[in-house]
Amino acid sequence: MKAFLKLSMLAMLAVLASCGGGGGGGGGHSTYGTYYSPNIIASEFVNSLNSVDGTYSSHVELYTNETLRSQVPGQEDWFVIWDAKYSEYKAVSLQYIRSIVYYDYYANNRAVASEFRSIERGDILSGNLNGDYYGNDYEVVDRLSSGYFEGRNSGYLYEDEATSTDVSLLAKEQEQKKFFDKAAKVSLVYNVSIETSMSMITLGSKIEKMLTRANGELTQEDQAALLGDIKTLTGVSLEELQKAGENSAAKEEVLAKVAAKIGTSAQNLEQKFLPEVFGITL
């Protein structure tokens, strides 16, 4: 399995390099478990939200040292974003984002954003359409004629500092746009969903870092983590993919399952995606 995994990963890197390569993603541990990201900053959270949502039109509207709510004794550091997913302004506590617990193979900012969206969906299903019930962690805000934002749940005000400039944020926005350009190319070339292509680019970047760090060799821990990542990407394990080539009934079932997961046809999956990306011929 080690040799097979190494070759398949190199094939993945070649695919991504031909489309511009690289992408977002965090580093850290490579064992599946519980994590949180205590050092994430507002712009990184927004970039990760865009990656999860498949957009790049969200942005940090305010910064923590400029929001009126942050100046109230006992309150946390807050920032406001334009949330493209729901087409609304939203205030978010930075401390809350840093405390979100998620399950993944390694610590990364994208998982923070994904878990935030899961929490948000749960709140919406519970009837809390404007944020968490009390507006303690995040809430929808409205822009007032005075130029302030007002929390729908809390009633707190957030100041609009339109002249603020964050050079590091602008740089990250450019980096983010490049990421989505690459994802669009991969999606077109391999006829897969944009979500799948973003995951491919992120995984390729992770593999590249692993190979660089380990002088071209993947450790057993790295391989275990990547096998889990591949299963997350395709919906099946590499063992299942290999066994599918030995049994026609299993092959049809696996192809249908993976095709649905990555957003393509079974024919495209068998003839192009699996051979060229993972080096698998069924």
The C-alpha atoms of residue 193 and residue 277 are separated, in whole angstroms, by 15
The C-alpha atoms of residue 241 and residue 3 are separated, in whole angstroms, by 16
pLDDT in tens for each of the 282 residues of the chain?
444 555 555 556 545 545 544 333 443 444 557 888 888 888 889 888 888 888 777 777 766 556 777 777 767 788 888 888 888 999 898 889 999 999 887 788 889 999 999 999 999 998 888 888 888 899 999 988 877 889 898 888 887 655 444 445 555 556 666 777 777 778 888 888 877 888 888 777 777 777 776 666 777 777 777 788 888 888 888 778 777 777 777 788 888 888 888 888 888 888 888 887 777 776
Both structure tokens of 51: 């990656």
Q: Would the pTM of this model clear 0.75, i.e. be above it? A: no
What DSSP letter does each residue of 86-141 carry, written as one string?
TTEEEEEEHHHHHH--EEESS--HHHHHHHHHHHHHHHHHTT-TTBSTTSSSEEEE
Find residue 35's DSSP bridge partners. Answer: 102
Instruction: Assess contact for 69 and 75: CB atoms under 8 A.
Output: yes
Cα–Cα separations (whole angstroms), residue 127 to 68, 86, 123, 131: 28, 16, 6, 10
